[in-house]
Amino acid sequence: MLTHLVKKIPNSALRFGRLPILIPKMPNNNWKPVQYATASACPATEGKPHDHSFHFKIERLFATGMVPLFPASLFIHNPLMDYALAVAISLHCYWGFDAVSSDYAKPLGFKEESVKFIRLGVFLVSLSMFVGLLRFNYNDVGITKAFEMIWAL
C-alpha cells in the first residue's frame, strides 16, 4: 500500500524538499497526499534578533569576493590592495575562529561564561592581528610587496 502511495508523489515535490502530509479519507481508509509542507532543518527566524542566516550569507559573499582578491594581489601592489587584504584576512580569520570556538567549546564541557571569555579572546587576537597588519602596511612595505620579496628569495 505504501509503494502505491509513493508512486503518486510527483518528482518535483521530492526535488524541492516538499514532503506530502498524508491524511486518510474517512470512508474507505485510503491514504492520499492532500497538502505539501516545506521541509526545513531549522525553524523560520525571520525578523528575530538572532537570525544567523543573514550572517552566513554575508560570510559566503565575502569568501566569494576573496577568491579574485588574492590572485589580484600578486599583480597589483598599492596601499588600497594592502588594506583590502588586511581587512579580508582579519575578518576571515575572526569569523572562522569564532565559529570554531562557539561550536566546539560548549560540547567540550566549558560553561557559558567560559565560552564568552574564549570568544572574547578570539576577538582580541583578531583585533591585534588587524592592527598589526595595518601597522605593517603603514610603516613597512605592505602585504603585497612583502610576499613579492619573499617569493624573490
Domain definitions of the chain by residue range: 2-38, 52-151
CB 39 within 8 A of CB 17: yes
Q: Is 92 annotated as a binding residue?
A: yes
Of 2-6, 18-22, 28-32, 52-56, the range with the highest mean pLDDT is 52-56
Question: Of 47, 45, 2, 42, which is closest to residue 22 (Cα–Cα)?
Answer: 2
Its CATH architecture, for the domain 52-151, is Up-down Bundle (1.20)
pLDDT of 149 reads: 92
The rounded Cα 122 to chain-centroid distance in angstroms is 17
122: its cell numbers: 578570539
Residue of 80 and 13 predicted with greater confidence = 80
pLDDT of 22 reads: 52
Long-range contacts of range 12-16, CB-CB < 8 Å, 24 or more positions apart? none
CB 115 within 8 A of CB 48: no
Which residues does 91 contact at the CB level (< 8 Å), separation at least 6?
Answer: 62
- The residues pairing with 23 across neighbouring beta strands, listed in sequence order, are 32
CB 136 within 8 A of CB 149: no
Mean pLDDT of 69-76: 91
**For residue 86, pLDDT beyond 90:** yes
Position 43 confidence tier, pLDDT thresholds 50, 70, 90: low
pLDDT of 13 reads: 52
